[in-house]
Amino acid sequence: MAEFTMELNDDQKQVRDWIHGFAADVMRPAAAEWDEREETPWPVIQEAAKVGIYSLDFYAQQFFDPTGLGIPMAMEELFWGDAGIALSIVGTGLAAIGVVANGTEEQIGTWIPQMYGTPDDVKVAAFCSSEPDAGSDVGSMRTRAVYDQAKDEWVLNGTKTWATNGGIANVHIVVAVVDPELGTKGHASFIVPPGTPGLSQGQKFKKHGIRASHTAEVVLEDVRIPGNCLLGGKEKLDERLARARERARSGGGERVKNAAMATFEASRPAVGAMAVGTARAAYEVALDYAKTRTQFGRPIIDNQGVAFQLADMRTQIDAARLLVWRASWMAVAGRPFESAEGSMSKLFASEVAQKVTAQAVQILGGNGFTREYPVERMHRDSAIYTIFEGTSEIQRLVIARTISGMPIR
């Protein structure tokens, strides 16, 4: 087990600089265009695939970094480049995490490569959990999965919403209810293969920020998938459901994690790193602007009102990064999140991103309010971090329950 460190090693620095170069040279020049177009930046994804950033091997190398810092380091640099394009590049990762967290080795080996495709024929994947009436309240999920024993098939019906890459994905990972009486313990995750009849894209959302990332509804109408597309397999599911039913009968309170929560817990520090990247980008623009913009015969950074804002921005960004790195190291080291450290990192970093980008707009004044300067886009993009993969309110609820041991509502 690697010791916790705040110093990247030479290999990590090399990878960081490589990703930073791609973000600076490829992503940033394209950011404003794809934000305006509100379309998936397929050419940029393909460039990322050609250099090796959009690939299973790249994410596996970062995921298995023994220090735990590979993924947050990569996320920070990509989202420093541009949040919308970066989410298009890394959005497949949430579906991949869902398979790794809940699937068998055979499922991992079969489906994750199909999520990415090849540099000449790139593909994306989607993780579908939220529903119109079930966002933070996953217990209200209505999408059903019914097993057809005669055909060894699962039949899925329902509507998912807020799905990154929903409808355009090659592979969809869908969380559905298999036993309504068990609440969230009766959920399971399913692989919907490419071209499966009955799956269609519903409404595509026009968003405030991260507009280069495709977000849409996914409609499932009598979607039939093979039995082996149940993540983890039916034997494992039956055992888990039997334990949950026994606990329900005996009044036992032992917690059973559902498939969606297992995915989100694994990804929250990574979302915190995304927020750090956006915050750092806005801070750097504001710092450069304050040093070169003159008013009353001197750079505006000479004024304490501006300089102190920049000091606070840098302090908050560094603090957020430390929380993200701590949670990432704990996860890879097998340390339990006894105080919900994963949620802490996501909560703090996401709110820092909103504050820092707003301060950057303020420092640039009227220029910051125009699309001629990137902080306007960064400020819009930052709003998503306090919402997706668990709102700030949900993070506080998770933290409060964890530190108190009480069923706080």
91 vs 87: CA distance, rounded Å: 5
If you search the block for the tokens 């009955």, which residue do you land on? 198
Active site residue 341: no
Token pair for 291: 């040093």
Asked if residue 98 lies in contact with residue 107, where contact means CB atoms within 8 angstroms, the answer is no
Report residue 344 as tokens: 């802490």
* SS3 (DSSP) at 366: helix
The residue annotated as part of the active site, out of 284, 376, 389, 393, is 389
What whole-number distance in Å separates Cα of residue 328 and Cα of residue 76?
13
- From the list 173, 204, 201, 15, the residue with the least C-alpha distance to 91 is 173
If phi > 0 it is left, if psi is from -120 to 50 it is alpha, else beta; for residue 171 that is: beta
Contact between 187 and 175 under an 8 Å Cβ cutoff? The reply is yes
Residue 290 φ/ψ, nearest 5 degrees = -65, -30
Find all residues with CB under 8 Å of 85, minimum gap 6, and list them: 27, 30, 31, 34, 41, 44, 212, 213
- Residue 138: Cβ within 10 Å count: 19
Distance set, CA 130 to CA 87, 119, 138, 236, 285 (Å): 18, 30, 7, 24, 35
The C-alpha atoms of residue 252 and residue 245 are separated, in whole angstroms, by 10
Q: Does residue 259 contact residue 94 with C-beta atoms inside 8 Å?
A: no
Return d(Cα 209, Cα 230) in angstroms, integer.
34
Is residue 128 within 8 A of residue 201, CB to CB? The reply is no
> What is the DSSP code (8-state) at residue 217?
E
Which residue has tokens 């026009």? 206
CB-CB contact of 182 with 241 (8 Å): yes
Q: Say how far apart CA 96 and CA 72 lie, in whole Å.
A: 16
Q: d(Cα 348, Cα 352) in Å, to the nearest integer?
A: 6
Which residues are tagged catalytic? 389
